[in-house]
Amino acid sequence: MRRALELARQAWGRTHPNPMVGAVITEDGQVVAEGFHAKAGEPHAEVMALRALGRKPSASAILHVTLEPCCTHGRTPPCVEAILAAGIRTVVVGALDPNPAHAGKGLDLLRAKGVAVIEGVLRDECAQLNLIFNHWITEGSPLVALKIASTLDGKLVLPAGEGRAVTGVESHADVHRLRRLFPAIAVSAQTALADNPRLTARGPEGESCGIRFVLDRHFKTAGRSGLNLFQDHHRERTVVVGLGSSAKKSDLSWYEAEGIKVWSLVGDEDSFLDVWAERCAQEKITGVLVEAGPRLASAMLRAGGAHYLYAYVSPRTGEPDSPAWHEGVDLSGGAFRTSVLGQDALFEGFLG
């Protein structure tokens, strides 16, 4: 199952709206075939492994798969049928598929045909891998995850003269891993203007770019042609999100002339984030990573607009006069786990 997880991760961030899934076939304790789901519309992990085997599995063959095999016709035929047709008699499963069309039915069907099913092997890891899919398929709305990089005292900026990098290189690399995972990233207009970010994922795998949202209620970014988000070669992936009620004609025509997409939402200050999330759902965007400054972070947390939190915390102290991101925010009811990244700690988990 560990190997199957590794295989699943080979399609990191590339399977939306589908989950990442890996599969391994063993015979007499030896791995004889492997597969993973590479992309929605392409064969599922189990089918890839069976194809890789290229012959009938032996009577003792065991299929190990990180997600419950599907039992419905989607873009591809059901894996349960492929498993039965191949004559596999033992299946080891990581997590159940939360897709209401499956949700244990695949395992029931296999058992009804006399297949031995062992479930829950590395369940938490297998489920965690697909946190975006799991939310999307059960809620029909994007998983909104808030990313924060803060000092120990919750500040997002260092005292003057201490530079801008609050967290260390290991944390920065990890953020790029998250940028590759999420189909979309969002920043506030303030952040876009102050930091001029690129919001692309850069790492050993090269550069990739999801949809880049600028949350800009009053279209303050209009006319700012120097921003990386407006001029780099991924600019067609940038979407400026504002309130239709505060859209000036001249601003909208500037974006249009520049070829920058605009979502002009029908709503007000209070409903803005909700209306944006609804529009994302309509556009089948399964998850958004919000890289927040202090204002957006606390606004989202207070309004309950985020489901998941990634808090990268460094052992430094911040600018005393700057606001702490968790000021006035109720984090109780959240379930967080900790990992160590160089000098920093990452606390991540679902918000209450």
Given the rule CB under 6 A, which of 15-23, 55-63, 227-235, 247-255 is the region that contacts ligand AOF?
15-23
- Give me the count of residues in the chain: 352
**75 contact choice in ligand AOF, Zn ion, none (CB below 5 to 8 Å, kind-dependent):** ligand AOF
Identity of the residue numbered 101? A
Q: Say how far apart CA 186 and CA 130 lie, in whole Å.
A: 20
Could you tell me the smallest distance in angstroms from the CB atom of residue 46 to Zn ion?
6
- Residue 13 contacts ligand AOF per CB under 6 A: no
The amino acid sitting at 125 is E
Among 3, 74, 172, 258, binds ligand AOF (CB under 6 A): 74
DSSP character at residue 324: B
- C-alpha 183/C-alpha 132 separation (Å) is 9
User: How does DSSP classify residue 35?
Assistant: E
Residue 99 in the binding site for ligand AOF (CB under 6 A): yes
**Annotated catalytic, 283?**
no
Q: Nearest 5°: phi and psi at 234? A: -105, 15
Q: Which of 46, 68, 291, 348 is catalytic?
A: 46
Which listed range, 36-44, 143-151, 202-210, 215-223, lies at the site for ligand AOF (CB under 6 A)?
36-44
Nearer to ligand AOF, 21 or 346 (CB): 21
Distance CA 319, CA 341 (A): 23
Task: List the interface residues with ligand AOF, window 75-94 (CB under 6 A).
Answer: 75-76, 79
Bridge partners (DSSP) of residue 338 are 347
Cα 157 from chain centre? 26
**Shortest distance, CB of residue 4 to ligand AOF, whole angstroms?**
11
From CA 49, how far away is CA 71, in angstroms rounded? 17
Cβ neighbors of 134 (< 8 A, separation 6 or more) are: 19, 98, 127
Q: Which residues pair with 206 in a beta bridge?
A: 203
Q: Interacting stretch for ligand AOF, rule CB under 6 A, among 40-48, 234-242, 251-259, 278-286? A: 40-48
- Determine contact, residues 83/91, Cβ cutoff 8 Å: yes
The binder of Zn ion chosen from 18, 20, 24, 44 (CB under 5 A):
44
Interface with Zn ion includes 105 (CB under 5 A)?
no
Instruction: Please give the Cα distance from 110 to 62 (Å, whole number).
Output: 13
Closest distance to ligand AOF from the beta carbon of 77 (Å): 7
Q: Which helix (H) or strand (E) holds 242?
A: strand 238-243
Residue 97 binds which entry of ligand AOF, Zn ion, none, with Cβ cut-offs from 5 to 8 Å by kind? ligand AOF
Closer of 84 and 324 to ligand AOF (Cβ): 84
Q: Quick check: 24 and 7 in contact, CB under 8 A? A: yes
Q: Does the protein bind Zn ion through residue 70 (CB under 5 A)?
A: yes
**Contact call for residue 79 and Zn ion (CB under 5 A):** yes
* Interaction between residue 105 and ligand AOF (CB under 6 A): no
CB of 126 to Zn ion, least distance (A): 15
Expressed in angstroms, the distance from the first to the final Cα of the chain is: 30
**Residue least distant from ligand AOF (Cβ):** 74
Between 126 and 144, name the residue whose CB sits nearer to ligand AOF. Answer: 126
Alpha-carbon distance of 117 to 107, in angstroms, equals: 7
Binding residues for Zn ion, rule: CB under 5 A, are: 44, 70, 79
Active site residues: 46
Binding residues for ligand AOF, rule: CB under 6 A, are: 18-19, 21, 37, 40, 44-46, 67, 69-70, 74-76, 79, 97, 99, 102, 137
